[in-house]
């Protein structure tokens, strides 16, 4: 049995509160004992459903193997490759990871529904090069079908792509 003298007892009463404060601070910094009920942020990107066609490579090339391929639903995107239109030769492609702040807005714009043009015959005669988006998922690589509006790409998507590629439309 250990006998504590009066001097040892006084030292312990001075040290004990400091030890409690140090332990509480360490636990607070580590997140232990936190009573914050706020859940960790979740990505909306995992729930966005896109339409695309499976391709072999994650590169800005016009895939020729897409003829007669059926588009499929694409989810769980982890990376996006933004390829400029063919006439924008001075603009370099850009890859976005899921942690990029432009990632989710671009996915949401790419998932927008088509807005039919009043005269589809006129639209079919227009052959303007368009930017392309390739996405990487856990199941493969896909070339996305981009939403159209009045014979062109949706304005929200055009704006998002221009911002990412640093294109300043005049």
Query: Quick one: which H or E segment has residue 94?
Result: strand 94-97
Which pLDDT value is given to residue 13?
43
Lowest mean pLDDT of 14-18, 57-61, 164-168, name the range. 14-18
Burial degree of 130 (CB within 10 A; 0-12, 13-18, 19+): middle
| Choice between 21 and 80, residue whose per-residue pLDDT is larger | 80
Quick check: helix, strand or coil at residue 24? Answer: helix
**pLDDT score of 4 more than 60:** no
Q: Tokens representing 76?
A: 């769980």
Q: What confidence tens digit (pLDDT) does each residue in 6-53 have?
A: 454 444 444 444 333 333 333 333 343 334 443 333 455 557 899 999
Contact yes or no for 156/147 (Cβ under 8 A)? no
Q: What confidence tens digit (pLDDT) does each residue in 93-148 have?
A: 999 999 999 999 999 999 998 887 666 666 665 666 788 999 999 999 999 998 88
Q: How far apart are CA 79 and CA 134, in angstroms?
A: 8
């Amino acid at each position: 049995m250990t006998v504590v003298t009066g001097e040892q007892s006084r030292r312990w009463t001075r040290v004990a509160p400091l030890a409690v404060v140090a332990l509480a601070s360490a636990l607070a910094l580590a997140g232990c004992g936190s009573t914050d009920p706020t859940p960790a942020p979740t990505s909306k990107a995992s729930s966005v459903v896109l339409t695309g066609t499976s391709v072999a490579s994650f590169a800005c090339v016009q895939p020729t193997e897409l003829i007669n391929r059926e588009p499929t639903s694409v989810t769980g995107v982890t990376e996006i490759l933004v390829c400029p239109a063919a006439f924008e030769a001075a603009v370099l492609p850009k890859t976005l990871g899921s942690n990029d702040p432009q990632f989710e807005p671009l996915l949401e714009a790419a998932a927008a529904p088509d807005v039919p043009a009043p005269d589809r015959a006129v639209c079919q005669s227009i052959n303007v090069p368009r930017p392309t988006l390739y996405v990487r998922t856990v199941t493969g690589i896909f070339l996305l079908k981009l939403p159209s509006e009045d014979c062109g790409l949706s304005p929200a998507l055009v704006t998002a792509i221009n911002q990412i590629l640093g294109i300043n439309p005049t």
